[in-house]
Structure 1
Amino acid sequence: MAGHGGRQMKVIALDFETANEQRSSPCSIGLAWIEDGQVARVEHHWIRPPGNRFARFNIAFHGIGPQDVEDADEWPDVLARLRPELEGALVLAHNASFDISVIRRSCEHYDVPAPGFDYLCTVQVARGVWPDLPSHKLNVVCGHLGVDFKHHDAAGDAYACGQVALAAMSLNSLGHVRDLPSHLGMSLGRLDHDGYTPSRAAAGPRRRYG
């Protein structure tokens, strides 16, 4: 794959679940590595949020509670394990603005540098490829594609996100997931320790900070 680091750039779909209303409260992360046109492996990591505080709404949404993560590492230690994978990768997320904000706010909370990577929002991809779907939520898109997964489970959602990108790539006869943005008139987002650039459906994103 052309671009940063040549054709072997890693592509990783990820998904977070959060413990409460704060974006800096991740309690679960799922990752799915895309290699050779398929999801090659999937990982899940528990994360203990600050104070191990959970809101009822979030527990009802994803079924995770404080007892599930009381012995888990907090974000800095989880990120330390994942940073070598994320640095320089192309990261996919369904509704990427949420997942990227979880990383940003969590890094700010713990005063650790954010990993540096390009990212692509698969909601934007789905809107471009399947514009006539009644919704572009992950379960709706995957229902259309016949992808079976466990929704609101971080590992399941990461897997499904990867499958959406692969299906869009295949349908458009593209050679790599990274070819999707230019084909669809989108631009990649970017996250690093200096700030972030949103993933957009049109070119020319403006750099943001904070």
Structure 2
Amino acid sequence: MLDFCAIDFETATQERNSACEMGICVVENGEIVKTETWLIKPPSFPYFHPRNIEVHGITPEDVVDAPTFEDIWHEAENLMYGNLMIAHNAAFDAGVLRGCLDYYGFFKPKLNYLCSISLAKKSWKNLPRYGLKTLADHHHISFNHHRAGADAEVCAKISLLAFQNLMVTRNEEVQEVMKKSVKLL
């Protein structure tokens, strides 16, 4: 069966290590079993770029008592261990994960990751756009966009629908169907 985690980050600045929120949605045997969200105090604290706040609405006041990425990583890693990681615009989220791991001196887990945009494009060839909100609207899924837990969960739901559409039922088939789209973190 399909086992993966969908991940999403919101950032405080343009710096890749500036995660201010992380969401992970765990899928086991093709079913969503858990979604976790952490507010994170970024290294730039108390500075948040106004544009980032405009996108996600998270302010320095929201994270003043939040743990750092260093404090939450082991809990998050346990949810991701051995899984395929999927993110919408995965280059960004994988970059934030790498940036945070590097900043705090953690080893990178041996994780394969896949972009749900590539997956959606393979599954639904004629959509005008493939943004997370567009795909969610197309599939009648409502959510609180640009909040990490909600975005991760919608990414998981969209991915499950795409896998179903492509008749992918096991992790071993993901690599075959998606070819070069699966990358190593």
TM-score by length of 1: 0.82
Classify the secondary structure of the residue corresponding to 1:15. Answer: strand
Moved over 6 A (4+): none
Please tell me whether residue 173 in structure 1 is matched to residue 167 in structure 2. Answer: yes
What code does the residue aligned with 2:61 have?
A: Q
Deviation at 1:184, TM superposition (A): 4.0
Residue 115 of structure 2 aligns with which residue?
Answer: 121
Residue among 25, 32, 35 paired with 1:32: 25
Q: How does 1:93-108 map to 2 (within 5 A)?
A: 93-108=87-102
Contact 1:12–1:90, Cα closer than 8 Å, also in 2: yes
Match runs of 1:1-210 below 5 Å: 10-52=3-45, 53-176=47-170, 179-191=173-185
Q: State how far apart, in whole Å, the 2-side matches of 1:38 and 1:84 are.
A: 18
Query: CA shift at 1:178, angstroms?
Result: 5.2
The residue type paired with residue 102 of structure 2 is E
- Alpha-carbon distance, 1:148 to partner: 1.7
**Unaligned runs of at least 5 residues, structure 2:** none
Higher RCO (CA 8 Å, separation ≥ 6 residues): 2
- Shift in CA distance, 178/25, structure 1 to aligned 2, threshold 3 Å: farther
Q: Deviations over 1:133-173 (max 9, x none)?
A: 11111111111112221111111100110011100111122
Q: 1:115-145 CA deviation, whole Å, 9 max, x = no partner?
A: 2211111011011111211111111111111
Aligned residues: 184
Structure 2 residue aligned with 1:207:
none
Matched position secondary structure for 1:49 = coil
CA RMSD of aligned residues (A): 1.6
Q: Secondary structure at the match of 1:51?
A: coil
Separation in structure 2 between the aligned mates of residue 54 and residue 33 of structure 1, nearest angstrom: 29
Higher alpha-carbon deviation: 145-154 or 155-164: 145-154
Point out where structure 1 has 5 or more consecutive residues left out of the alignment: 2-8, 192-210
Q: Scaled by the length of structure 2, what TM-score is found?
A: 0.92
Identity over aligned residues, as a percent?
33
2: distance between equivalents of 1:24 and 1:182? 32
